[in-house]
Amino acid sequence: MNDKVFTKPIKKQFEFDAEVAAVFDDMLERSVPFYKESQRITEFFTHKNLRSGGVVYDLGCSTASLLLNIHRGLEVDAELIGLDNSEAMLEQARKKCEAYGANIEVVHTDILEYDYKSADVFISNYTLQFIRPLVREELVKKIVTSLKSEGVFIFSEKVISHHSRLNKELIECYYDFKKSQGYSEYEIMQKREALENVLVPYSEEENIQMAKNAGFSHCEVLFRWANFATFIAMK
């Protein structure tokens, strides 16, 4: 289904409800520049770091599209586990996993409270930015603690610049992209209002420093387009 969520006046802050879940895959591809390319990079590094009998967690797995793609490329026996706090998203995920006959576990839970197994890979796509900054670092510490030696955390985030003019131009560049994807000026402004105080992005440097403060030995950017970036943090 095509994303028409913000063609009408907003009545609440953004949330991952049934209306969003129904169009979420289309929303991602039209709202996140080079989304498929960043996902392919995530898949590649997941497979490179996954061992036989290992575990992969996708935090905020939404409709499980990424886990399904990882499942298709598996060359080892491994557990794929998707976590999300939106039952509407997981309903879509379960339907897709069943349709493709994919052995993927999806769990309705709070990723801050979940009791993680020892894992090879953690993935988070545009999820950390929705977690309050004070709690965000605690989650990243929990991730590094739950990773096996030499495990990796691959995460994608919207990023800001602390240079005011550049940050303004990055936003303009992004809005031009959204217009090229068929979104109207009205839809763009509606979504921006809905996300106000819900999505709190860090800069590239702040994301890297957060990972290092949590205990990762190394963190760098794998892919970046304007104000969207994919990072890898290595234990």
- In-domain check, residue 180: yes
Three-class SS state of 83? strand
- Token code pair at residue 119: 């894992």
- Measured at the alpha carbon of residue 25, what is the angle toward residues 64 and 224, in degrees to the nearest 5? 90
Q: CATH number, domain at 220? A: 3.40.50.150
Residue 170 domain-assigned?
yes
Determine, yes or no, domain membership for 5. Answer: no
**pLDDT the model gives residue 118:** 98
Q: Between the ranges 31-35, 174-178, 198-202, 210-214, where is the mean pLDDT highest?
A: 210-214
Q: For the residues 30-42, what does the mean pLDDT come to?
A: 92
Q: Determine, yes or no, domain membership for 2.
A: no
**With bands split at pLDDT 50, 70 and 90, how would you rate the model's confidence at 26?**
confident
Total domains in the fold of the chain: 1
| pLDDT tens column, 114-150 | 999 999 999 999 999 999 998 999 999 999 999 999 9
Per-residue confidence band for 1, with pLDDT thresholds at 50, 70 and 90: very low
Domain holding 26, by residue range, is 11-234
Q: Nearest 5 degrees, angle CA 169-CA 224-CA 209?
A: 95
Is residue 87 assigned to a domain?
A: yes
Check pLDDT > 80 for residue 190: no
3-state SS track over 183-200: CCHHHHHHHHHHHCCCCC
Residue 17 is predicted with a pLDDT of 53
| Arithmetic mean of pLDDT, 169-173 | 95
Nearest CA among 43, 20, 3 for reference residue 91: 20
pLDDT of res. 20: 53
Structural domain contains residue 75: yes
Number of helices (H), then strands (E), belonging to the chain: the values are 8, 8
Q: Is residue 151 part of a domain?
A: yes
Q: Out of 47-51, 183-187, 207-211, 227-231, which region has the weakest mean confidence (pLDDT)?
A: 183-187
- Cross-strand bridge partners of residue 231: 155, 221
**Can you give the pLDDT at residue 25?**
67
Global pTM exceeds 0.85:
yes
**Confidence band, pLDDT 50/70/90 cuts, at residue 10:** low
User: What pLDDT, in 10s, does the model give residues 13-23?
Assistant: 545 555 555 55
Amino acid, res. 84: D
The pLDDT value recorded for residue 18 is 53
Lowest mean pLDDT, pick from 104-113, 124-133, 175-184: 175-184
- Indicate whether 3 belongs to any domain: no
Distances 207 to 130, 180, 183, 203 between C-alpha atoms, Å: 14, 29, 29, 6
